[in-house]
Chains A and B, each alone.
Chain A
Amino acid sequence: MLTFVISEALSNLRRGGRVAVSAVLLITLSLAALGAFWVLSLNLGRAVGEWRDRLRIVVYLREEPPPAALGEFLQTVEAVGGVQRLRYVSKAEALRTLRQQLGGQASPVEQLPTNPLPPSVEITPSPEASTPEGTRALIQRLSALAEVEEVQGGTEWVEWLAQLQGLLQVIGLAVGAVLALAAILTVTTATTLVLHARREEMEIMRLVGASEMVIRLPLFLQGLAQGLVGAAVAVGGLGLAYRFALPTLEPLLAVTLGLPRAAFFSPAEIALLLSGGAVLGAVGGLMAKGGRAA
């Protein structure tokens, strides 16, 4: 029985001919489009996450608080709310850091008569305060403190990145959905052609008492196979493109987004794409009408 069903599905594929091939191609296209947007958005998403993690607000102070009052001052800062962690950076420490950063070129700094760097407090906002609105409010509250000269930091461009990611997801889903619909319809057409070519056979099958499962399963499998092949080609193509683009892409990503490595789909995500293709094909196969039901 199983060998019958499988050999039937295979010969259905052969009979589907050019339409079956275009069905596979359309599935490939729809999943490749979906997948390409997905990979992009995946990497953007990682960048957004990373930048959100690194989000710091730096509060520059007019002058160094006296050591005795430092603890109390930091408590005032913390009391504005939305502060997860904070670290005081004295003028001296700021200068040390600058020297380290400059390395061999530090000599001009050595020659400064006085330390020009202001003391500051580095603040990591709490998760609630990490949203664009939360950060803006936090910055406002910090600016209101008398000791504060200037507050730096913000999430504008990270948010812009997040919006871009959202946009990419929407575009990817929309393009993917349209192509997926076309793919389903093409599989349906291919299957209907097969049904037409096979109507004598299906008539005999029904006449002699074949179960509906035996009659329908080959169509289902045929659609499924088309979907799987389409999805595999799509994932393979994306994988190749990714390989080739990687050497030029990674430095670019590192500079622009600060991502050391680009990411591709995880095995689970590849499995998801493959099953997506299988579902597209199977639905197309099942939707075909033609063989008269008993």
Chain B
Amino acid sequence: MIQLSGVSKEYRVGPVKVTALADVSFGIEKGEFTVLAGPSGSGKTTLLRLLYRDEMPTEGEIRVAGYDVTRLRRSKIPQLRRAIGVVFQDAKLLPGRTVYENVAFVLRVLGAPRREMTARVMQVLKAVGLSARAQALPAQLSLGEQQRAALARALVKEPALLLADEPTGNLDEAIAEEILDLLKEIWSRGTTILLATHRATLADQLKRRTLVLHRGRLLKDED
């Protein structure tokens, strides 16, 4: 599902070069649940952004969901992104739209048939436990509910791969636990998941394969 070989990423800030990733190689099989751990600034977000071609690596090869990401033509980027769901620390919901509309927005933008729309949106809202809040605006939701809505939005197009960048970062323990349970449930239905977090405890507690980044280098890769 994911294959990185010799991937490096340098950001240039004026005259200064920042090495965010250095010679990173690893592979993730279809159906895996993998944790990407590492302290703040170790390059986790950068790595995820390379996967959905939000950034280009300075060096190395990346394959995701059958796409040769580094050589992907600009016009093919949308196809790659349709295969990938992404959630962030903040839910990034559109404030003027209800939960239902936020999720349906994706289907409208991707040109899904209108007939299927309501059923698909309600189904995914049910899966994340938000059926009752479909008509609420993001501001009326708790942080945990907002993150659930963000997950619903990422999942409604049925991506093969879900990238979660610190999805529990804004949540307290109990609610974070609920979101992690939800991720596991999503994974158990067949979605490959890569979860980035700087909380070592969280990585341990999940008991999943963990990739550890430190200053842009892959330290260990353990099951």
Name the residue of chain B whose CB is nearest to the CB of A294. B77
- The docked-state distance in angstroms from the alpha carbon of A203 to that of B109 is 12
The 8 Å CB contact of A208, one of B75, B95, B157, is: B157
Contact flags B100-126 to A (C-beta < 8 A → 1, else 0): 000001101111001000000000000
Does A208 contact B92, Cβ atoms closer than 8 Å?
Answer: no
- The answer, yes or no, to whether B71 is at the interface (CB within 8 Å) is no
The 8 Å CB contact of A204, one of B74, B78, B92, is: B92
**Main SS class of interface, B:** helix
Does A1 contact B111, Cβ atoms closer than 8 Å?
Answer: yes
A221 to chain B minimum Cβ distance, whole angstroms, is 15
- The docked-state distance in angstroms from the alpha carbon of A294 to that of B72 is 12
B127 to chain A minimum Cβ distance, whole angstroms, is 17
Contacts A209-B110, A214-B109, A214-B111; A200 near B82 (Cβ below 8 A): no
Does B80 contact A209, Cβ atoms closer than 8 Å?
Answer: yes
Interface size on B, residues (CB 8 A): 26
Name the residue of chain B whose CB is nearest to the CB of A203. B92
Does A204 contact B105, Cβ atoms closer than 8 Å?
Answer: yes
Chain B, 153-205, CB within 8 A of any chain A CB: 153-154, 157
- The answer, yes or no, to whether A133 is at the interface (CB within 8 Å) is no
Listed in ascending order, the chain A residues whose CB lies under 8 Å from chain B are: 1, 3-4, 200-201, 203-212, 214, 294
Listed in ascending order, the chain B residues whose CB lies under 8 Å from chain A are: 52-53, 74-75, 77-84, 86, 92, 94-95, 105-106, 108-111, 114, 153-154, 157
Q: Which 10 A-B pairs have the closest CB atoms?
A: A209-B81, A1-B111, A209-B82, A209-B78, A210-B109, A4-B108, A208-B106, A211-B78, A294-B77, A205-B109
22 contacts between A and B (CB under 8 A): A1-B111, A3-B114, A4-B108, A200-B94, A204-B92, A204-B94, A204-B153, A205-B109, A208-B110, A208-B157, A209-B77, A209-B78, A209-B79, A209-B81, A209-B83, A210-B78, A210-B109, A211-B78, A212-B75, A212-B78, A294-B74, A294-B78
